[in-house]
Structure 1
Amino acid sequence: MEAICENGGLIPVSKSEPILVQPETSLNTNQGFYFLSNLDQNIAVIIQTVYCFKPDENKSSDNVGDVIKRALAKILVHFYPLTGNLRVSSDGKLIVECTNRGVPFVEAEADCNMDVLGDITVPDPGMLGKLVYTVPGANHILEMPLLTAQVTRFKCGGFVLGMTINHCMTDGISAMEFVHSWAETARSKTLTLPPFIDRTILRSREPPSIKYPHKEFQEITDTSNMSTLYQEDQLMYNSFQFNQEKIARLKKTAMEDGIIKNCTTFTVLTALVWRARTKALKMKPNQQSKLLFAVDGRSKFNPPLPKGYFGNGIVLTCCICNASELIEKPLSFAVEHVQNAIKMVTEGFIRSAIDYFEVTRARPSLTATLLVTSWTRLDFDTTDFGWGEAVQSGCVNLPEKEVALLLCNGRDRKITTLLLGLPITAMKTFQELMQV
């Protein structure tokens, strides 16, 4: 299936052969196997991101590759599991073999100025894919490195850091903390937040205790034949911006019937997108429509997870209802569902989800499902490797066709952007429904 993008394009890039960057010292690194919790198991997908840095009039970027590479060797002493290989353990779960093999690192030159990238808000695999390194011939997750890095210098003196990382190693918060620590190291600063890498604090209980229904794993029948639509139609990515005025109108609409008394930007936008996507995909009235979204569980534990927890501290929570209910009832109906799903996430629920996977090895079904993930609290643009903060950052693509991403734009962070991909015919309807 071909993916098309509104701002698509190609840039001429020549790449060096990758070198393997190993931890500068093995004093703090361990050999053997590194435990991944059950919260890490269900999201072993590759996330590709790029960070753009404009030219600095007072500082040449000629040596930027060396600076970032040396900093990577230093920071990997603290984040050493990223240098290992993903394996399947004897009990059928993902685990990291800590070999200190190293992280593939590539330096590249682009035969153009960085402004040809334009606004990289919308995922563009064709163009942005040239700015990240993927191992040729690696088609299975076990064949792919846990982390790769590429630094691409442009003729204007600007540069782009492209990073691929396996989601089983980090959620958004720990990925941001890793990148910030890497940047601090490049500036010869002491780490503000050293990582806490022991994930065994999220082991399943003995014996497992499943005390909550876990509808996030529920299989749904595709009675609307949406799989055929995705196979036959082109996938189109698009972005939609919501300023404070538009969000205020949405909140007012959601609360006008008195069903809910308040709502956040996340709950109202997630509810809006869930309804609009269900309608755009022409789900039949009796089709069950599922919404999955991640809730940060760090503060839900008593005591909370340690500061700098390196791993997935998020858990998926779920809403399910018939498409007819979702579309025909007011926006407050969907918002209330989202709010109730958030309230459900307690330490008990998270421990139950961990135990549920231990017993069933089930993975969340994505049939007739929208999976919303929010990066609105992540400050990737404040990353500074010594040439100033990133002027913009973005995703090369979205990891699954069911994923929608929320993030904040601009230095004042007053605009929330929605990114998602849909079959092109469904995208036309979705665009109309976003005119709110």
Structure 2
Amino acid sequence: MEFVNSWAETARGVSLTIPPVLDNSVFTSRKPSTLSKNPTEKLNLIDMTDVSNLESLYQKENTIFKSFGFEKNRLTSLKKQALAEDGELKYCSNFSVIAVLVWRARTQALKMEPHQQTRLLFPIDIRSKLNTPLPKGFFGNGIVTSQCTLTTSELTEKPFSFAVKMVQNAIQKVDEVYVQSYNDYFETRRITTPRPSLTGTLVISSLIRLAFKSADFGWGEATQFGSVELPKEVCCFTHDGVKEKGRIILILGLPVSAMNTFQQLMNKV
């Protein structure tokens, strides 16, 4: 969005508010690499067997996309639930409670087998997580991914707060060492190692903090933005900054039968 905003400023003929910083040396792997002997285990980059025939379901049915809204009072209720269930949790973010709610509901809607491993994967902004923070205007995606993995039975039968705590721990573990290991793995193994399968995986991307409304090409601020297309494993959420301030909008795709079940589960929350 910094690029889009700079593009918009250029279109209006004004100076750039945030000049781009093009140095991406922070994402260069270490030489020699200090990658652990089993990096896929450390980063949880493991393939999961499709014991629930998920691929067959997606092939048989059309995938439809729908959006769901989360108002402030609904989010407050979810956070109170998590805090009440677990005395150790001191704080819950909107991201963690929505992520777990959607992860659980999607897993149930797809009728995953109890022993099916299911993974929640999400990008994390590392701009403030490094010992030397990325400079303002760093050009490109300053992100790594983190994730949580459970069996279907663990995810759906354990308390809501259990998975919320897992998500928060997955976010907190991302530090300088994690980022370096992440870079080393993808720089040294990405050519020879196949990309991990996304079977049983939900990828959540939060667009909430992107400064899309300030993108003015000369005819006013943006009123709406989003992805043109989402892969079947991905959902995203953003603010509905026009109609209802503070409301969070979730967008995801599911096979028709699963979407019907997902909607029913969302209506119960």
TM interval, short-chain normalised:
over 0.9
Say whether residues 1:226 and 2:54 are aligned partners.
yes
1:192 to 17, 36, 44: 17
C-alpha contact 2:54 2:200 (8 A) present in aligned 1: yes
Residue 269 of structure 1 deviates from its aligned partner by 0.4
Between the aligned partners of 1:201 and 1:278, the Cα distance in structure 2 is 36
Q: What is the 5 A alignment of 1:93-172?
A: none
Q: What stretches of structure 1 of length at least 5 have no aligned partner?
A: 1-175
Answer with 315-324 or 197-206: which moved more. Answer: 197-206
Between the aligned partners of 1:427 and 1:296, the Cα distance in structure 2 is 30
List aligned pairs for 1:311-330, cutoff 5 A.
Answer: 311-330=140-159
Say what the alpha-carbon RMSD is for the aligned residues: 1.5
Determine the C-alpha separation between the residues in 1 that align with 2:157 and 2:116. Answer: 13
1:6-17 pair list within 5 angstroms: none
Q: Any idea what the Cα deviations from partners look like across 1:3-54, whole Å, max 9, x if unmatched?
A: xxxxxxxxxxxxxxxxxxxxxxxxxxxxxxxxxxxxxxxxxxxxxxxxxxxx
In the alignment, the residues of structure 2 paired with residue 279 and residue 297 of structure 1 have an alpha-carbon distance, to the nearest angstrom, of 32
The reply to whether residue 304 of structure 1 matches residue 123 of structure 2 is: no
1:332 to 146, 152, 161: 161
Q: What does residue 188 of structure 2 align with?
A: 359
Kindly indicate whether the alpha-carbon contact (under 8 Å) linking 1:275 and 1:334 is maintained by their aligned counterparts in 2: no
- Report what 1:119 is aligned to: none
What corresponds to 1:404 in structure 2?
235
Matched, 1:372 2:197: no
Please name the residue that 1:178 is paired with: 3
Cα distance between partner residues in 2 of 1:425 and 1:222 = 19
1:261 lines up with 2:103 in the alignment: no
The residue identity in structure 1 corresponding to 2:145 is: L
Per the alignment, residue 350 of structure 1 pairs with 179
CA contact (8 A) 2:28 2:187 kept: no
Q: How far has the Cα of 1:189 moved from its partner?
A: 1.1
Higher strand share: 1
Q: 1:188 to 1:205 in 2, by over 3 A?
A: same
Deviation of residue 360 (structure 1)? 2.1
1:234-245 aligned at under 5 Å gives the runs 234-245=62-73
Q: Secondary structure at the match of 2:144?
A: strand
SS in structure 2 of the partner of residue 432 of structure 1: helix
Structure 2 segments unaligned to the other structure (5+ residues): none
Q: Which has the higher helix share?
A: 2
Letter in 2 for 1:408: H
| Cα distance in structure 2, aligned partners of 1:323 and 1:215 | 21
1:278 aligns with 2:110: no
Looking at structure 2, the residues matched to 413 and 352 of structure 1 have their Cα atoms a distance apart, in angstroms, of 39
CA contact (8 A) 2:43 2:182 kept: no
Aligned twin of 1:395: 227
Q: Report the alpha carbon displacement of residue 216 of structure 1 after superposing the two structures with TM.
A: 4.1
Deviation at 1:312? 1.9
